[in-house]
Structure 1
Amino acid sequence: MPHRDLDPQLIDHAQGPAASDVVDLLDLLWQQARDTVTTTSVSTPQLRLMYLVDRNDGIRMRALGKLLRTAPPSVSRLCDRLQAAGFLERLPCPDSRREVSLRLTAGGRDHLERIRSERAATLTLAIEAMAQADRLALATGLAALQSAIAAPGRLGL
C-alpha cells in the first residue's frame, strides 16, 4: 500500500521500520561514496571520528571518547591510524599538559568534503525523482528530525 494511503493512526507504528529501511539504504550509499572517493582505507569508525572532530575542532581526546562511547585505548588507535593517513593531528592542550586536542588536517577536511559531495550528488539524484509535494514533506520531516536529534541531552550527540 502506498504511503499516502496509510491510516494516520498506523503511521506511528510504521515509522520505525520505514526509517530503518531508509537508514540501511543511506548506509549503503554512504559506503559507496566513501569507497568512490578514497584511495586510503578509512573505516566507518574512523570516518565517524573524523565527522566529530570536524564538528568540534580542537576537541580533547577524552571528550571525543565520551561522544564515541569508546574506551580511551580504542580512540587512541583510531587517531593513530588517521594521523598516519595524514587526516588528523594531535595538539597539546594549552591548559593541560596531560591532555591532547584533535584537529583535522587540510587533507582530512578535503577527504570529508569529497565524501560529502559524492553523497550529496547521489541524494540529489534520488530527490529529483520525487514529486514536489514529497520533496517539501521530506524537507519538513528532515528538519524536525534534525532538531529532535540535536536537542541538548538527546542521544548523546
Structure 2
Amino acid sequence: MRETPAPPHPHGSPAAPDIGQVLELLEIAWERGRGTLSTAPLSAAQTRVMYIIEREPGINASTLGRRLSAAAPSVTRLCDRLQAAGFLRRTPRPQDRREMQLELTDSGTAHLHGIRHRRELALQQAMSRMAPDARHALATGLSALCDAVSEPTQSLGHRETA
C-alpha cells in the first residue's frame, strides 16, 4: 500500500513541497525501512556516539559531550552502556592518565559496518526502482540540504542577507 502525504498547506510554495510534507515523507520512508535500517540492539543516540568515536578515535568524554551537545552524566551513561555491550573501550590517555580516551572495539566497528551495509543495500534497492532523473534530483537535493545544514545557525525564520 502506497501512502500519500497530506496535500500541501496553503502557505507552501506550489513549486516545492512545504516543510511539513517533506518531514512526513521522511517519516514514511524511515517507518517503511525500520526493520532494515535498525541500529538494534543500540539506540540511535548510542549509534551516533559510535559514529563520532569512529571518526575521532581517542576522543575524550568532554569533547564527545560537546559534539553531542549533551551533559556529562548523559555522555557517561551512553558510554557505560556501549562498554557493557562490548562496543567501546576506555583507556587512560598516555599524556594524562587521569583523562580517558574512547575507542571502538572490534565488535563495535563490526556493528557499525553491519548497519552501514544493511542501509546501503536498502538504499541501493530503493534507488534502483527510481527513474534516473529522480535519482539525480534526490542526490542534488540531499547535497543542498547537507550544505544548508552545515551553514552557521541563525535565528529561526530570519536569514540575513548580504
C-alpha spacing 1:87/1:121, structure 2 compared with 1 (3 Å): same
Give me the identity figure in percent.
39
Q: Deviations over 1:54-112 (max 9, x none)?
A: 12222111011112122111211111111111111112223333322211111111101
Partner residue in 2 for 1:120: 120
Residues matched between the structures, number: 144
Runs of 5+ consecutive residues of structure 2 not aligned to the other structure? 5-11, 155-162
In the alignment, structure 1 residue 24 sits paired with structure 2 residue 27: yes
For residue 31 of structure 1, report the CA deviation from its aligned partner: 4.0
Taking the TM superposition and a 5 Å limit, the aligned residue runs for 1:53-64 are: 53-64=53-64
C-alpha contact (below 8 Å) 1:61/1:101 kept by paired residues? yes
Cα 1:98/1:142, change in 2 over 3 Å: same
Q: What's the C-alpha RMSD, in Å, of the aligned pairs?
A: 2.7
Query: What letter matches 1:129 in structure 2?
Result: R
Instruction: Please report the TM-score for the alignment, with normalisation by the length of structure 2.
Output: 0.75
Q: 1:29·1:119 contact (CA, 8 Å) conserved in 2?
A: no
2: distance between equivalents of 1:45 and 1:84?
Answer: 15
Q: In structure 2, the residue corresponding to 1:10 is in which secondary structure?
A: coil
What is the TM-score when the length of structure 1 is the normalising length? 0.77
1:93 aligned residue:
93
Counterparts of 1:1-157 in structure 2, within 5 Å, are 10=13, 14-28=17-31, 31-33=34-36, 35=38, 38=40, 41-151=41-151, 153=152
Amino acid at match of 1:16: I
- Which gives a bigger RCO, structure 1 or 2 (Cα 8 Å, sep 6+)? 1
Q: Which has the higher helix share?
A: 1
